[in-house]
């Protein structure tokens, strides 16, 4: 049997094993996704080192590599990197497929199927940007790589769409865990930001995948706490006020940072340059900046470590902060593929350090070390920018291995989050805003009253009308019931089409008689404008018709109009679509 035939045979056999999508099996697949995620991260790192060796003859930290380059290479390397990234991204966008190009889209609104072609090209595009010194986070491409591998695995074993979405989410959690050495924060990142659900049915597989990725990195000798800080003293009770103030400051700054990134993207797009030229231009301008300040290359990891372990003057911090923000805006604005996760940590660290220096300048005997403000600033800024304060708190604790940071992180992150959400509806990830809009839509639909669905009714006759009037109205309108009201528009009942026909069969010359002889008082149940969709649905379930009359109240039944069954079903369909696109559907176990 040939290799391809054996693969097809294996897939046909697997397709018959429905237990592969059961919950116990999903936990096993989560273990595999953890190993796959760790492998994807290591492969991405090897890709970075390969490009650096080919171009510069050296590899390592991007800041270190950039410092060793001549000024010509500092300009040329990011320009060529941007050019290659632009070509790859252009190729990725040439053909739009039916599958998702982004892992968040595949999990939140898709069926878990990710485009292999677009995914690989976008990952390679990000690889060239990151390798050449782009001031952008690596986590975006790394997580996408891990998620893509999970999607392919899930499609190979034929799991259903809901389980495939969860499997892709496990791949994303494994990617975060392996990239940052944060197993708990990796799972919370996906649950809080991507899925918006902390249900154990969802969080359980994410935790398994994230923990497995972390253990894999440890066994392969690639694990380290990025910002390990041992022996941080606990913050005294009264000093916690300082961190509230720091959180409020960051709550103002974080939305501004995100808006600046969005504005820069618009500027590049409005320039009229094609995509390839935009990325090459962004790389060229970044290269000009790297000639003067090579430390702004990359995602800012080395500078943050320096802020934690070395003494900086406030003007040096302010200068590197401005330069780093400029470098990030050039990379992000030009359209480069990457994340803002690590740059957000850098900006938060810089503001936290500046705040700590200010506190020590005003209060020379201040007991809290400056690096504590640095770390808390990182967590608060990340929580406000991602709209996921819980994830940010846990991530900083895991990155530093310092539990004593928990309390100041909580107060600063929560304060920053609520103030930033109050000031502006912006977030690092669009999926956060989309999910919030969907939740608002579901709540609005659930609160919908029939008063919003009432339509005018033309098939109404007074009690003084005759059978002849009824017949003419039935000829003009394709309805089964005509509503009857008195002089004050009080609803009295209906005239049913079949009752009129039955009456005429027995009384051939009765067309001039009043409709009181065929009036049905309780034949059709009435609705009131304060009824909910659920109450209206119950009435329509018991009624074999398209519409029901709406009266002002049961005590004072003044006819207001009608509600159509199709209008109620349309609202329910919108509610169902919103629910099916949400992460809540992943909680279903059967």
CATH of the domain at 529: 3.10.580.10
Structure tokens at 83: 């050019």
Number of folded domains in the chain?
A: 3
Mean pLDDT lowest for which of 123-127, 158-162, 330-334, 417-421?
Answer: 158-162
The DSSP call for residue 194 is I
Residue where a domain stops, chosen among 163, 184, 219:
219
The pLDDT score that the predictor gives to residue 125 is 92
Mean pLDDT of the 192-215 span:
87
Mean pLDDT of the 545-560 span: 85
Whether pLDDT at 184 is above 90: yes
Rounded alpha-carbon distances, angstroms, from residue 75 to 48, 85, 280, 284: 18, 16, 11, 6
Q: Please report whether residue 184 resides in a domain.
A: yes
Residue 425 lies in a domain: yes
Residue 290 · residue 133 · CB < 8 Å? yes
Q: Average pLDDT for residues 415-438, to the nearest whole number? A: 79
Q: Which of 165, 189, 219 is the last residue in one of the domains?
A: 219
Q: Is the pLDDT of residue 242 over 70?
A: yes
74 in helix, strand or coil? helix
C-alpha distances in angstroms, 512 versus 227, 460, 467, 481, 516?
93, 18, 6, 19, 12
- Asked if the structure places residue 235 within a domain, the reply is no
**pLDDT the model gives residue 160:** 73
User: Based on the domain organization, do 426 and 457 belong to the same domain?
Assistant: no
Average pLDDT of the segment spanning 265-288? 91
| 229 within some domain | no
Please say if the pLDDT value at position 2 is more than 80: no
Rounded mean pLDDT of 176-202? Answer: 87
% of residues, the chain, pLDDT over 70: 89
Q: Report which of 344, 343, 246, 354 is spatially closest to residue 307, judged by C-alpha positions.
A: 354
User: Do 51 and 142 reside in the same domain of the chain?
Assistant: yes
Tokens of 495: 């005239």
Residue that terminates a domain, selected from 373, 398, 430: 430
Write the DSSP symbol of residue 461: E
* CA–CA distance, 128 with 132 (Å, rounded to integer): 6
Please indicate, yes or no, whether residues 260 and 326 belong to a single structural domain of this protein: yes
Residue 408 has pLDDT above 80, yes or no: yes
**579 vs 245: which has the higher pLDDT:** 245
Question: Residue 362: is its pLDDT beyond 50?
Answer: yes
Q: How much is the average pLDDT of 36-47?
A: 92
Q: Does residue 442 sit within a domain?
A: no
Looking at every residue in the chain, the average pLDDT score rounds to 84
The span from the CA of 105 to the CA of 536, in Å, is 35
Q: Residue 97 — very low, low, confident or very high, per pLDDT cuts 50/70/90?
A: low
Q: Name the more confident of 442 and 65.
A: 65
- Say whether both 357 and 398 belong to one domain: yes
Residues 254 and 120 in one domain: no
- Output 509 or 90, whichever has higher pLDDT: 90
- Give the pLDDT confidence score for residue 589 in this predicted structure: 37
Q: What is the dihedral of CA 150, 155, 158, 160, to 10 degrees?
A: 70
Same domain, 63 and 207: yes
Q: Are residues 44 and 164 in the same domain?
A: yes
9-25 confidence digits (pLDDT tens): 555 555 555 545 566 77
Mean local confidence (pLDDT), 408-415: 95
10 and 111 in a single domain? The answer is yes
What is the reported pLDDT for 315?
Answer: 93
Of 66-70, 386-390, 502-506, the range with the highest mean pLDDT is: 386-390
pLDDT band with cut points at 50, 70 and 90 for residue 449: confident
pLDDT in tens, 455-495: 888 888 888 888 788 788 888 888 888 888 888 888 888 88
Kindly state whether residue 570 falls inside one of the protein's structural domains: yes
pLDDT at 6: 52
Which residue range forms the structural domain that includes residue 514?
450-575
Do 392 and 329 lie in one domain? The reply is: yes
In a domain, 436, yes or no: no
- Tell me the CATH number at 272: 1.10.3080.10
**Is 140 in the same domain as 19?**
yes
pLDDT of residue 356: 93
Same-domain pairing of 258 and 322: yes
What is the mean predicted confidence (pLDDT) over 344-368?
A: 90
Matching residue, tokens 């391809």? 4
d(CA 217, CA 170): 16
Answer yes or no: is 435 within a domain: no
Least confident of 81-85, 105-109, 118-122, 550-554: 105-109
Q: How buried is 221 (Cβ within 10 angstroms: 0-12 exposed, 13-18 middle, 19+ buried)?
A: exposed
Question: Do 416 and 460 fall within a single domain?
Answer: no
Q: Which pLDDT score is estimated for 585?
A: 46
């Amino acid at each position: 049997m040939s290799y391809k035939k054996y693969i097809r045979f294996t897939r046909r056999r697997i397709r018959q094993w429905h237990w592969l999508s059961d919950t116990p099996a999903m936990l096993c697949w989560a273990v595999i996704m953890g190993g796959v995620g760790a492998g994807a991260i290591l492969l991405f790192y090897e890709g970075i080192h390969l490009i650096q060796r080919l171009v510069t003859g050296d590899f390592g930290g991007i800041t270190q590599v950039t410092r060793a380059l001549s000024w010509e290479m500092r300009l040329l390397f990011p320009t060529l990197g941007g050019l290659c990234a632009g070509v790859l991204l252009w190729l990725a966008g040439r053909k739009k497929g039916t599958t998702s190009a982004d892992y968040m889209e595949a999990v939140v609104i898709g069926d878990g199927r990710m485009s292999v072609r677009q995914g690989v090209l976008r990952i390679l595009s990000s690889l060239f940007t990151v390798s050449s010194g782009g001031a952008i986070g690596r986590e975006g491409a790394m997580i996408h790589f891990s998620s893509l591998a999970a999607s392919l695995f899930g499609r190979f074993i034929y799991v259903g769409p809901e389980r495939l979405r969860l499997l892709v989410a496990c791949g994303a959690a494994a990617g975060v865990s392996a990239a940052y050495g944060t197993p708990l924060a990796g799972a919370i990142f996906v649950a809080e930001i991507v899925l918006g659900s902390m249900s154990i049915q969802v969080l359980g597989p994410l935790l398994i995948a994230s923990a497995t990725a972390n253990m894999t990195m440890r066994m392969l000798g690639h694990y380290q706490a990025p910002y390990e800080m041992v022996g941080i003293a606990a913050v005294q009770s009264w000093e916690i006020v300082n961190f509230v103030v720091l959180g409020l400051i960051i709550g103002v700054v974080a939305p501004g940072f995100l808006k600046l990134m969005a504005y820069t993207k618009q500027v590049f797009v409005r320039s009229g340059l094609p995509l390839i030229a935009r990325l090459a231009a962004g790389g060229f301008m970044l290269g000009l900046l790297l000639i003067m300040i090579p430390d702004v290359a990359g995602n800012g990891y080395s500078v943050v470590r320096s802020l934690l372990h070395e003494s900086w003057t406030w003007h040096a911090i302010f200068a590197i902060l401005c330069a780093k923000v400029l470098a990030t805006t050039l990379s992000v604005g030009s359209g480069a593929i990457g994340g803002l996760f690590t740059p957000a940590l850098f900006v938060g660290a810089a503001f936290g350090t500046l705040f700590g220096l200010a506190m020590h300048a005003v209060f020379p005997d201040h007991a809290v070390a400056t690096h504590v403000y640095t770390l808390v600033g990182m967590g608060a800024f990340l929580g406000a920018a991602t709209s996921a304060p819980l994830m940010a708190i846990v991530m900083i604790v895991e990155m530093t291995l310092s539990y004593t940071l928990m309390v100041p992180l909580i107060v600063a992150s929560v304060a920053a989050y609520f103030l930033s959400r109050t000031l502006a509806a912006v977030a690092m990830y669009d999926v956060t805003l989309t999910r919030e809009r969907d939740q608002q839509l579901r709540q609005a639909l659930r609160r919908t009253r029939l008063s919003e669905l009432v339509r005018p009714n033309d098939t109404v006759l007074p009690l003084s009308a005759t059978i002849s009037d009824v017949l003419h109205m039935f000829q003009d309108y394709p309805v089964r019931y005509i509503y009857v009201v008195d002089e004050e528009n009080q609803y009295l009942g209906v005239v049913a089409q079949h009752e009129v026909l039955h009456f005429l069969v027995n009384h051939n010359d009765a067309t001039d008689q009043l409709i009181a002889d065929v009036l049905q008082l309780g034949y059709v149940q009435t609705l009131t404008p304060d009824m909910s969709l659920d109450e209206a649905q119950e009435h329509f379930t018991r009624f074999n018709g398209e519409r029901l009359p709406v009266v002002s109240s049961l005590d004072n039944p003044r006819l207001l109009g009608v509600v159509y069954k199709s209008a109620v079903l349309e609202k329910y369909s919108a509610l169902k679509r919103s629910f099916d696109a949400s992460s809540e559907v992943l909680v279903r176990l059967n």
